[in-house]
Structure 1
Amino acid sequence: MITYAENNPTPGQPAPSPVGFENVPVIETPIDLKVEGSIPSWVQGTMYRSGSGKYNILLDNGDTFHVGHPFDALAMLHRFVIQGNRVQYSSRHTSNGVERRIKAQDPTLLTFGPDPCKTIFGRMQSVYHHISNFGSNAVLQESDPEFDMVNVTITPNFPLGEVLENETGIKRGHGLVVKRDANTLQLVDSNTLQPLKMFTYAHVDKKIQGLLCASHHQYDETENEYVNFMVRLGPFPSFQPFITGPYLPNTSVSLDSPLPPPHTRLCEPIWRHLGAWNTMQSLKPSYIHSFSMTERYIIIPNFPYYYSFGGLSAIYYSCAYQTFYWDATRHTLFHVVDRQTGRHVATYDADPCFSFHAANAWDQLETLPGGQTERVIYMDYCMYENTDIIDVSFELGKQQSNQENGSNKMDGSKTKIDLDKVSPARYVHIKKHTDGKQDHAIAPSQVRRYRLGRVPEPTRTEHYQSYQWFSREYNQRRVASYQVLAYDVELPRFNPRYNLKPYRFLWGVCESRYAPSYASGTVVNGLIKVDLDQPQQVLNTDKQSTAKIWDEPGCSCAEPIFLPKPEKTAKEDEGVILSIVNRQQECFLLVLDASTMTELARTSIGKFNMNTIHGSFMDQHGKGVAVN
């Protein structure tokens, strides 16, 4: 959307957003923050958070370009150095190249949200420019570290590989990388947050090829391996997991210690025989933000939220939102890959559902009646019955409505768009799935624990590898069952010491008791801890709920980061929770006792809202201890 210069109430500055987004000020020189309360002395290290920074961009002619979806706002990174009861903060905008492309009206710029101003003719022009400029854009991306938008997850100690290490001078284990759901990554300086290099996984290893991947990787500390997967689009789409290591030096030595040569293993592409035998439906590429892994298996979810025309429609619409479609008639599929052999060993059917975020997973051998055994996978997801939650993403970061003090209601009305101040007005409204629903209410997420039974055991025998594609056991139809353990938990985090193992506690964000459903206006929420060993079949606001919640009126909390207490004898839920909280025109860092969910400390960052979703924490020795 465009606000013309003559309608700008703030000449010389970007015009205010007609849909409620405000730019976030940058603080590149670190500042000390005043702490109220006491941060435990063992909390030592650096928290990084990624998110959105600029929504309203002043163009050279005085007009203002307005971003319509928060995922498309220019990227911004935040850095908090915590030492005892001291906190130092800095931030940086990291998409200046994208801002230049917006000012130049680059038709090849892909976004998540739709452009309400683009006509059918404009879409056809985009198709032409995407095709004709494909090669030149690749060259520009190679030379401009801020050419594209990367602002989802941030990963310390990223395994860059020898080529990037030699090019950038970043030593093994020292790379700080921002990721997204596409094969585009951004290396940044861990101290200044300055972008250093835009790259793809092919830079890490030429064998890794594809267009899409998960923002959230998996890490096996025992095997010292980084795991993700690539999605190849086209007439014969496929998923292909890959394993890269060594991820980190041994934790008992310095990060500067020498490492053995890096390696990458590609797993077998998942595409063969899926339609004919073991799932009864053909494989279609779908939107996948995260996935699961156990000691023996990689499990890739395949939700019925598909890319239309195999993803080719993205270059027509120039956005992801209008490319996706939900098909409630098809099953969710869970594709299981053997980590030892790299082979796809089974696929499980489940009810149609959708999830952004997986929690923990593990596999174990169980004894059946009669003495036989079976290998079972358990995996937890924050699951939704459909994709209405996608519509909620339009509201992330919007300024909060006025709240009635002391009541359980909030004015959920959206900021009105003055159609005379945007161009062209008739294209402003984008119809969403939640339009027409009372109060825009959506069903809360369910923490579902899926059980995948009779999983084929890992084996390295050549006989089994060549035989499995034709065996009756491999091609049988398998069904995933699940149990609901809790409701209304999103952006899940758990104690990283229990990764790939049975665990008990889960932390996340939840809807606020002081506000209506997420989709009613701005996203207002609290922080939650649930005990998965005590499943609850009631909502968190019910008096019978066993959940522990931090929730204050008018607060909107970002993803919690759990830091475990360093003592080896510490209980699973002993530690702290770090979160960023926005309240009206205030932003503060919140520190909670993770066990009781009571406040330990907070520190004000500024009179603005910081719009972040994900974050990671790196200890004082430079090792990521809570990575997302």
Structure 2
Amino acid sequence: MITPAADNPNRLKNEAAPSPVGLKNVPATQQAISLQLQGEVPKWVNGIMYRSGAGRYNILLDNGDTHHISHPFDGLAMLHRFEINGETQTVKYSSRHTSHGVERRIGERDPTLLTFGPDPCKTIFGRMQTVYHHISRFGSNAKLQENDPEFDMVNVTITPNFPLGERLEAETGIPRGQALVIKRDANTLQVVDNTTLEPIKMFTYGHISDKLQGQLCASHHQYDEETDEYVNFMVKLGPFPSFQLFILGPYLPNPSQPPPEPRLCEPIWRHLGAWKTMQPLKPAYIHSFSLTKNYIIIPNFPYYYSFGGLSAIYYSCAYQTFYWDETRPTLFQVVDRHTGRHIATYDADPCFAFHSANAWDEEIKLPGGGTEHVIYMDYCTYENTDIVDASFELGKLSSGDIDLAQVAPAKFVIKKHTRDKKNHAIAPSQVRRYRLGHVPSPSSSKRWTPDAWSFGLEYNKRRVASYSVLGYDLELPRFNPRYNLRPYRYLWGVCESRHAPSYASGAVVNGLIKLDLNRPYEGKNTDEKSSAKIWDEPGSSCSEPIFVPNPEGTAEDDGVILSTVNTIDQDKQESHYLLILDAATMAELGRTTLGTFHATTIHGSFVDIHGKGVAVN
């Protein structure tokens, strides 16, 4: 969207015109400032919280026009850094915009920019030109990205201690185990300085190993602290997508030993075809997946890339590329973590999820003396993909009493899939615990074992995943990282605010919630019988909570919750602050205001005073 210079009320100030959909630019604070703390921080909380998100939506062009970004996911990248010291009761804050190369490309009208939200101004002829430019500029764009650390926009998850590999360690000068990397759902990553947040290098997984090739990967990797292994996968798009699983590690430094050589598990290309359903696997949107001690489980929700993903270069956006097919099941592809072999596929009801929570596998004794290998995995699940439409309104909070006329989509925004539904009805998320029963044991999936023939027969059996609902209305899930890959009890996340209309009304306004998964409840979280504990204030909207465990704690919920909050008071004054809660009671311990602005951050991570990630997403 473009606002002509003549229609810009701020043109005399040399400022961008205000957004027609209510998204505002966020000021950067590159020099760290000390913040005034209200309340207190537990003395044991010492480290740095990083958050990634969007910071610029309205770009002033050289000719005076203003380019407007309409979808919150497409806001130009911004990083935030909070240095928290419980011993001295101090909090220091800094932030930085990290997509100046994208801003330059917008000014140059680069037709190869890919976004999440649609461009309603692009004609069919313009889309055909875009296809041509994507093909003709592929090589030149790769060279530009190699030399410009801000060439593309990467602002989803933020990963400390990332395993860069020898090539990038030598090129960037970053010691092993100290890289701070930003990721997204495409094979484009960005390493930044862990103090100044300045972008250093844009790269792909192919820079780590030339064996790792593909267009897509998960923003949320999985990590096994016990083995010090980083797990993810690559997807090659096309009519028959290929999945390439890989494990990196160990990389964290050990002062008593020389630096270990980086290890890359042998990546194996596999077409994870669903033999048991006799349906070919289609490329689907995968934001996160599950890991256990013995298995990697990749979900395949029926939210597909049309034309094998090739339509992305026609539309130049993801939203118009995806389509929901309620006639097809969700598939869970199970891969033996030790051999890389695809050993089973499980059918489930059609559904959708952005985020997985925890997962584990165990061997259960059966009556009569037998055993059954079972995988349990938790997801924040929706009955369809209408929640993607709700994402258009993320960060458009206007007041405690929201004026829906202000947050409703602008008239020229492309028709959304929920528009024909009554009140844009969107069901809340369900915390589902999936059970995958009779999983082939890791030993039975090894090559050339005596029971290889019987395993082949077992592989072709149709398997069905069952699930139970443990809670409702929880998204952006976080749990105590000490319980990763094993049974756990508590889950924290965001929930709909009680002081604002629901997501179905077109506003995304969040409170914070803690659920006791051992006490499932089918009613509302606000009911007296519910075990849920909620922090929620009028006019406030919270970002993903980060659980930081007490180093000396023994209880699973002994820790703090860190979140950032956008709020607006009765005088319509905006502010943004860091919130610190007692994780067990969800009672407020302290807060500190960053400034009179709103900033939308989705994910974050926390590292201790030694630079080791203790709460990573």
Tell me, in whole angstroms, the C-alpha distance in 1 between the residues paired with 2:286 and 2:511: 25
Render the CA deviation track for 1:517-544: whole Å, top value 9, x for unaligned: 1242332110000000111111213332
Counterpart position of 2:571: none
Q: Which string of whole-angstrom CA distances, capped at 9 and with x for unpartnered residues, describes residues 487-546 of structure 1?
A: 000000000000000000000000011111124233211000000011111121333221
**Aligned-partner Cα distance in 2 for 1:417–1:433:** 13
Given the superposition, is the C-alpha separation of residues 415 and 337 from structure 1 closer, same or farther in structure 2, using an over 3 Å criterion?
A: closer
Shift of 1:466: 9.9
Shift in alpha-carbon separation, 1:66–1:461, aligned structure 2, 3 A: closer
Query: What is the CA–CA distance in structure 2 between the aligned matches of 1:323 and 1:153, rounded to whole Å?
Result: 22
TM-score, normalised via structure 2 length: 0.96
Are 1:616 and 2:605 matched, yes or no? yes
Deviations 1:191-250 (A, max 9, x none): 000000000001011111111000000000111100001111113212221101113235
> Are 2:1 and 1:4 equivalent residues in the alignment?
no
**Match of 2:277, SS?**
coil
Counterparts of 1:332 and 1:464 in 2: how far apart (Å)? 31
1:208·1:266 contact (CA, 8 Å) conserved in 2? no
Q: Deviations over 1:98-142 (max 9, x none)?
A: 000000000000000000110000000000000000000000000
Q: Following superposition of structure 1 onto structure 2, how do residues 375-390 of structure 1 map, counting pairs within 5 Å?
A: 375-390=373-388
Normalising to structure 1: TM-score of the pair? 0.94
Cα distance in 2, alignment partners of residues 529 and 23 from structure 1: 32
Q: Is the 8 A contact 1:403 1:411 kept in 2?
A: no
Is 1:437 aligned to 2:435, yes or no?
A: no
* TM-fit CA distance, 1:399: 3.5
Give the CA deviation at 1:416. Answer: 7.3
Whether 1:121 aligns to 2:125 is yes
| Alignment counterpart, residue 589 of structure 2, candidates 600, 603, 615 | 600
Equivalent position amino acid for 1:403 in 2 = G
Q: How far is 1:258 from its partner?
A: 3.1
The answer for the alignment partner of 1:586 in structure 2 is 575
Q: Does 1:370 align with 2:368?
A: yes
CA-CA distance at 1:269 after TM superposition: 3.0
Residue 627, structure 1, aligned to residue 616, structure 2: yes
Is 1:457 the counterpart of 2:455? The answer is no
Structure 1 residues 468 and 33: alpha-carbon distance in aligned structure 2, compared to 1, 3 A threshold: farther
Residues in 1 aligned to 2:460 and 2:228: alpha-carbon distance in whole angstroms: 33
Q: What are the residue-to-residue correspondences of 1:264-283 with 2, within 5 Å?
A: 264-271=264-271, 274-275=273-274, 277-283=275-281
Structure 1 unaligned blocks of 5 or more? 405-409, 420-427
Q: Does 1:302 align with 2:291?
A: no
**Residue 198 (str. 1) matches residue 187 (str. 2):** no
Q: Structure 2 regions of 5+ residues with no counterpart? A: 569-573
Per-residue deviation, 1:461: 4.3
Q: Secondary structure at the match of 2:531?
A: coil
Find the aligned partners of 1:386 and 1:518 in 2 and give their Cα distance.
14
Q: Which residue of 2 aligns with 1:213?
A: 217
- Whether the 8 Å contact between 1:279 and 1:478 is mirrored in structure 2 is no
State how far apart, in whole Å, the 2-side matches of 1:464 and 1:348 are.
24
Secondary structure of residue in 2 paired with 1:391? helix
Q: Is the 8 A contact 1:555 1:582 kept in 2?
A: yes
Q: Contact conserved, 1:21 with 1:399, CA < 8 A, in 2? A: no
Question: CA 1:429 to 1:258, structure 2 compared with 1: closer, same or farther past 3 Å?
Answer: same
Runs ≥4 residues deviating over 2 A: 266-270, 410-419, 436-441, 459-462, 464-470, 519-522, 541-544
Cα offset, 1:465, TM superposition:
9.7
**Aligned-partner Cα distance in 1 for 2:389–2:116:** 12
CA distance 1:259–1:469, change in 2 (3 Å): farther
Letter in 2 for 1:334: F
3-state SS of 1:451 partner: strand
Q: Give the match for residue 62 of structure 2.
A: 60
Quickly say closer, same or farther: Cα 1:461–1:61, change in 2 above 3 A. closer
User: How many Å separate the matches in 2 of 1:461 and 1:227?
Assistant: 20
1:79 equivalent in alignment to 2:68: no
Partner of 1:566: 551
Contact between 1:441 and 1:517, CA under 8 Å: does it hold in 2? Answer: no
Amino acid at match of 1:507: W
What percent identity do the matched residue pairs reach?
70
**Number of the residue aligned with 1:39:** 41
SS in 2 for 1:183: coil
How much is the aligned-residue C-alpha RMSD, in angstroms? Answer: 1.6
Q: In structure 2, what is the equivalent of residue 30 of structure 1?
A: 32
Question: The residue matched to 1:462 in structure 2 has which SS?
Answer: coil
Aligned-partner SS, 2:359 = strand
- In structure 2, give the amino acid aligned to 1:5: A
Q: Check the 8 A contact 2:526/2:532 in 1, yes or no.
A: no
* 1:541 corresponding residue in structure 2: 526
Residue in 1 aligned with 2:473? 488
Q: Distance in 2 between matches of 1:238 and 1:417?
A: 37
Q: 1:424 maps to what in 2?
A: none
Measured against aligned partners, the alpha-carbon deviations of 1:168-206 in whole angstroms (never above 9, x if no partner) come to: 100100000000000000000000000000000010111
Give the superposition deviation at 1:266.
Answer: 3.7
Change in 2 beyond 3 A, CA 1:508/1:42 = same
Q: Distance in 2 between matches of 1:247 and 1:179?
A: 18
Aligned residues: 607
Cα distance in 2 between the residues matched to 1:184 and 1:221: 25
1:267 Cα deviation after fit: 4.5
Q: Secondary structure of 2:105's match?
A: helix
Q: Tell me the distance in 2 between the aligned counterparts of 1:519 and 1:214.
A: 27
- SS in structure 1 of the partner of residue 460 of structure 2: coil
State the alpha-carbon separation in 1 of the partners of residues 332 and 374 from structure 2. Answer: 14
Shift in Å at residue 433 of structure 1? 1.5
Alignment of 1:34-433 (within 5 A): 34-84=36-86, 85-250=89-254, 253=255, 258-271=258-271, 274-275=273-274, 277-400=275-398, 402-404=399-401, 410-415=402-407, 428-433=412-417
Q: For the structure 1 residues 416 and 339, does the alpha-carbon distance in structure 2 shift closer, same or farther, using more than 3 Å as the test? A: closer
How far apart, CA to CA, are the structure 1 residues paired with 2:336 and 2:488? 23
